[in-house]
Structure 1
Amino acid sequence: MKKVWLAGFIFVCMLVAACSSGTSVDVGGGEAEPPAQEPAATGGQKEAETETPAAGDDGPAELVFYSTSKDSEEAFNERYGDAIREQFPNYTIKYIQRVPESTDLEQLIASGQRIDILWDSLGSFPGSMINHDLKFDMSELLEKHGVDLSRFEPTLIDAAKQLGGGAIYGLPVENSTKVIFYNKDIFDKFGVDYPTDGMTWEQLHELANRLNVESDGAVYTGFSPPVNSMVLQNSYSMPLIDPETQRSTYGDEMWKKIIETELLSTANNPTVKKAMQQYRKGNFQNLDQFYKDKVLAMWPEGQLLPILFDEELSQMNWDMVAMPTYSDKPGIGYQSYPIFFGITNQAENKDAAMKVLKFLVSDEFQLAHSKKGNMTSLANEEIMKAMGSESAFKDKNYGAFFYNKFAPVRPLSEVDTKVNALSPMTNMLRGVINGEYDINTGLRMAEEEVNKAIDEALKK
């Protein structure tokens, strides 16, 4: 089963890099707030709002699902499809796997293929749902079917509302964020204390720098940052493009602070640079150095890592802790990166589709999903604490995923879905690390490149 997920996992990793624009959905604001105390969508009692739809409670319906993720049908069934069919035996559930140049969204639409429910990650949902004019405001259906939005992690609902300008085009069914996976054997080898939840970036780098060591013919390093997530999910909720001015934000001093804190504090170390050359031909170290070469002590990753790489991780002495935080934003971690499910305007039976979505966000489904190691989108402590309890790694620190508050999802400009604002930043950072130019010059170059792309996009 791991192999059918692997293509999707790799695609998601690549997607985060490619979709700062055509795929990123993001909502900004200040620090994360407590769960909203707004009234339930139905005004009914809690029991009625969270009730799971009864199996076989209506007539037959056919629902067609689609995602740009390229997940296989087998993977879709394991995550969602089988549970939906069991809950709704009268429904015919179909899934169309995306095969590039064969079943891309443009091709399906042109052929007249109906899509009832479109699901995608935060990065690709607006490019799929909005840019292809499939959007449908589910607000009335949510109220009709008693879906209580106050049950969710509030930053996710804020993101959904910001994406639709107040309308709800998608419901967060699953969440994701980064935590630090660490190899205990490397820490033990060099007599360094393990990382802990609640660290600041300064404390993490202090640990990491003690692990930048050449030993027994290998070059060990303490930490490599997730460069794409560092930008897209930054703790300050900085947008890549200002929604009001529709200009790049890379000239803002905050970007310099983020890059210097999370990247340059580690990457400027001579041992780290040697490791980058030896293992990655000058590129940033990644997952391979963590689980395959076993020379990287700490690597940030999401909850799919133990699910997809269970065999590899079962042969390692590892655990995980929460991402570090900034001293001026205590307790605020990275932004979340949810999966949204949305009913399209093509859907023939929107009530049936909403019943399915209500089931996917029910306590029942979310609890079972969480126990397998998936991350719930609900603000429910019982479900959060159950994360990973039935996985192969139930003894690991899954609480790290919820240790910090989520930073609000960054503001999204309309032009974000048309311009790739991430690649100029990541390409520039490689040049900075390799000594081609300093950070100020690099940020100016990235800003100019993004602004040029914005100008071209606005002419169309």
Structure 2
Amino acid sequence: MNNKVSRIRKGVLTGMSLSLLIPILAACNSNSEKDDPNNRRVLRVGTMYGSKSDESWFRQQFTDMFEFSHSNIEIEVVPAIDYTEMQFEDQSKRENQPDQFTRVKEIMSGTNPVDVMIINDLNMLGQLVNESLLKQLDPLLKDDKIDINEFVPTIVEGIKDQGNGFLYALTPTFQPAALYYNKGLFTKAGVDFPKDDMNWDDVFNLAKRMKSGSGKDAIYGFSFNQWGASDSFWDLQNFAAPLQLKMYDDKGETMTVNSQQWQTLWETMVQLKNDRVTPRQEDMQYDQPESDTGIYNPYRSRLFYSGRVAMTIGDYGMMNEIQLMNDNSDKLKMEKLDWDVVTVPYHVGKEGIGGNIFLGQLAGINANAANPKDAWEFVKFMNGKEWAKLKSRSTYEMSARKEFVKVRDGMNFNIDAFTKMRPAPASYGGNTLKEQELLREKPNLSMITDMGSMIYSQVMQGNRTVKEGLALWEDQGNALLQKIKTTPKGQIPDAFDGINTGDSGGISPQKKALMEASGEVFVD
């Protein structure tokens, strides 16, 4: 669904929500302190990215309800990076992208610091905690008798992981993932359904039992994403995220990829593809049948939807697409999908931690806040029961409050699968605080990831063996790290000269995906 349609729907939902909250808000406004015209305050709310052009959307999502119920408080939205500032700059200026963490620190530590910080990156939360820029929330929760046990435990634990065991932010919602499976395919094959708490080996062994046929009749056991092909570096990174493997040492001077752990991961991905357990890019090609209706079928090439992949990793919103397809199956001339979900698999030794789980609405109080009292009122409101009840209607994210985690009307699925796993650190950039600090000092270290993507593409295409690929990444990566040492920022024209991609599409899609996921690219 494109973003404009999504925003229109969100706006409609916000309007409906406002009408439903009027009785509650009227009660809130009866407080004489809030009605006192001489007691007006400004609450500054920081965002990681933004602009005046989309501020109205942000306000609908986060602040309008609060301002309506707190008539004496005026919200001022302060983006750390206003991406419209770069829109009309020349290319030479665009080469030096603003450092996200530095800009966030500036609006939290300057002469007029923000009071609240909205964080859409779990890694960023850990960085801010490490810099002592956020106020610990545990004492405030205790003073106001707010029971943290009312929230989904794994989400609370995931947030605490970034706060050294303490809470420095709360989120009203999260975007979980699960392992979707086609019940009809399993029944037909006489194989038991997947179950919760499987590790990756369990899933791959199950997938091998489910593969069958060849050509256009082939059934694949598993796909790392709902779109089909599972041979991108992005899929590898999400798969490996809970392991937090390093590409280079703490100084950013020596590569560490030529190891048994990296080799095992790459060999696993290659073997799954070669054994046709997972589909390849060419397996997704499908000619649209000619039809008098002229209806284009977007699900034909998405193999899980068309019944050609038995299991796939998908987010909470994926069920919207399944429902849409099932509701229109007659028009599309497709068989309805009988499905369910179980928990995303875990790596042995990393039990309870899953990839593809995102927390995008973390709200914390600036340790330097000029208005900490109202800041806490805002964080409480944003994470309160009334707001959670409204946000629980979302079809693409789930409430962080257990009370509102419910199966949607008309559906029947294992909803607990979405709440059992703790989120892993993001798969892009640095996973540890040291790595993140190093990336800020040497932004060109991201080129090491780009190099890995290019070589991985060659390996998946069969142009190199896994050992050759990792040895090349180590060799060329070490050479690039020395160039980055002298040129930590800006262009390095010959960065990839030692690699013959043999494929014009070796890097761009993955790089774009990494940038979009980290907030560096915004698409209207």
Query: Which category describes the TM-score, using the shorter chain as reference length?
Result: 0.5 to 0.7
Structure 1 match to 2:244: 238
- 2:340 aligned with 1:341: no
- Equivalent residue letter for 2:438: V
8 A contact 1:224–1:266 mirrored in 2: no
Where do residues 305-320 of structure 1 align in structure 2 (5 Å cutoff)? 305-306=318-319, 311-312=324-325, 316-320=337-341
SS in structure 2 of the partner of residue 181 of structure 1: strand
Structure 1 counterpart SS, 2:221: strand
Separation in structure 1 between the aligned mates of residue 411 and residue 61 of structure 2, nearest angstrom: 19
Among 468, 490, 494, which residue is 1:441 paired with?
Answer: 468
Query: Which is greater in Rg?
Result: 2
> Alpha carbons of 1:300 and 1:359: their partners in 2 closer, same or farther (altered >3 Å)?
same
**8 A contact 1:371–1:387 mirrored in 2:** no
Query: Structure 1 pair 68/367, CA: closer, same or farther in 2 (3 Å)?
Result: same
Contact 1:237 1:411 in 2 (8 A): no
Query: For 1:345 and 1:308, how far apart are their aligned partners in 2?
Result: 42
Is 1:359 paired with 2:351? no
SS of 2:243 mapped into structure 1: coil
1:384 corresponds to which of 399, 402, 412: 402
* Distance 1:119-1:335 versus aligned 2 partners, 3 A rule: same
AA aligned to 1:289 is R
Identical counterparts, % of pairs: 18
- Pick the aligned partner of 2:311 from 277, 298, 301: 298
Runs of at least 5 residues in structure 2 that lack an aligned partner in the other structure: 9-26, 35-39, 88-96, 150-154, 226-232, 287-298, 329-336, 489-524
Once residues 63 and 291 of structure 1 are traced to their aligned partners in structure 2, the CA distance between those partners, rounded to angstroms, is 45
- Aligned residue for 1:354, secondary structure, equals helix
AA partner of residue 423 (structure 1): D
Give yes or no for contact 1:208–1:221 (8 Å, CA) kept in 2: yes
**Residue type of the partner of 1:208?**
A
- Render the CA deviation track for 1:36-92: whole Å, top value 9, x for unaligned: xxxxxxxxxxxxxxxxx9666644435455343899667645643454345434434
CA contact (8 A) 2:133 2:368 kept: no
Q: Deviations over 1:345-365 (max 9, x none)?
A: 897644433321232234554
Q: Deviation string for 1:325-364 (max 9, x for gaps)?
A: 3455555544853233345689764443332123223455
| Alpha-carbon distance between aligned partners in 2 of 1:72 and 1:310, rounded to the nearest angstrom | 30
Secondary structure in 2 matching 1:323: coil
The count of corresponding residues between Structure 1 and Structure 2 is 395
In structure 2, do the counterparts of structure 1 residues 64 and 308 end up closer, same or farther at CA, with 3 Å as the change threshold?
farther
CA shift at 1:396, angstroms? 2.0
Match for 1:429 among 435, 456, 470?
A: 456
SS in 1 for 2:162: helix
Select between 136-145 and 196-205 the one with higher mean Cα deviation: 136-145
Asked if the contact 2:208–2:277 (Cα under 8 Å) also holds between the matched residues in 1, the reply is no
Range with greater deviation from structure 2 (430-439 or 135-144): 135-144
Match of 2:272 in 1: 266
Match of 2:14 in 1: none
Q: How does 1:106-121 map to 2 (within 5 A)?
A: 117-121=116-120
Matched, 1:80 2:102: no
Q: 1:322 aligns with which of 322, 343, 347?
A: 343
2:284 partner amino acid: Y
Alpha-carbon separation, structure 2, partners of 1:76 and 1:288: 35
Cα distance in 1 between the residues matched to 2:236 and 2:404: 28
SS in 1 for 2:413: coil
The amino acid that maps onto 1:301 is G
Partner of 1:40: none
The answer to which structure, 1 or 2, has the higher relative contact order (CA under 8 A, 6+ apart) is 1
Post-superposition Cα deviations, 1:363-414, rounded to whole Å, max 9, x if no partner, equal 554465456463455xxxxx3364244x456522221123345567842311
AA in 1 matched with 2:47: Y
- 2:292 corresponds in structure 1 to none
Code of the aligned partner of 1:269 = D
Residue of structure 2 in register with 1:155 after alignment: 158
Show the counterpart of 2:47.
66
1:12 counterpart residue number: none
Pick closer, same or farther for the CA change 1:439–1:215 going to 2, 3 Å.
Answer: closer
Match of 1:257 in 2: 264
Q: How far apart in 1 are the matches of 2:478 and 2:371?
A: 43
Shift of 1:297: 2.9
Distance in 2 (alpha carbons) for counterparts of 1:356 and 1:174: 15
Counterpart position of 2:206: 207
* Residues 1:210 and 1:308: Cα distance change in structure 2 (over 3 Å): closer
Describe the SS at the equivalent of 2:281: helix
Matched, 1:415 2:438: yes
TM-score (structure 2 length as normaliser): 0.58
Deviations 1:2-40 (A, max 9, x none): 8547599xxxxxxxxxxxxxxxxxxxxxxxxxxxxxxxx
Structure 1 segment 37-56 matched on structure 2, within 5 A: none
What do residues 133-191 of structure 1 show as CA deviations (whole Å, max 9, x unaligned)? Answer: xx8722268756758897662232221459xxx995x5555444431122334445555
Taking the aligned partners of 2:270 and 2:403, their CA distance within structure 1 comes to 35
Maintained 8 Å contact 1:334/1:407: yes
Distance 1:189 1:336, change over 3 A: same
Are the aligned partners of 2:218 and 2:308 in contact in 1 as well (CA < 8 Å)? yes
CA distance in 1, matches of 2:350, 2:217: 37
Residues in 1 aligned to 2:220 and 2:462: alpha-carbon distance in whole angstroms: 20
AA of the residue aligned to 2:156: E
Distance, in Å, in 1 between the alignment partners of 2:483 and 2:372 is 38
Tell me the distance in 2 between the aligned counterparts of 1:287 and 1:456: 46
After superposition, residues 107-256 of structure 1 pair within 5 angstroms as 117-122=116-121, 125=124, 137-139=133-135, 143=139, 146=143, 153-161=156-164, 171-188=170-187, 190-214=189-213, 217-226=216-225, 228=234, 230-232=236-238, 234=240, 236-241=242-247, 244-246=250-252, 247-256=254-263
Larger deviation: 292-301 or 197-206?
292-301
SS in 1 for 2:219: strand
Segments of structure 1 that go 5 or more residues without pairing to the other structure are 9-52, 378-382
Q: How far apart, CA to CA, are the structure 1 residues paired with 2:356 and 2:263?
A: 19
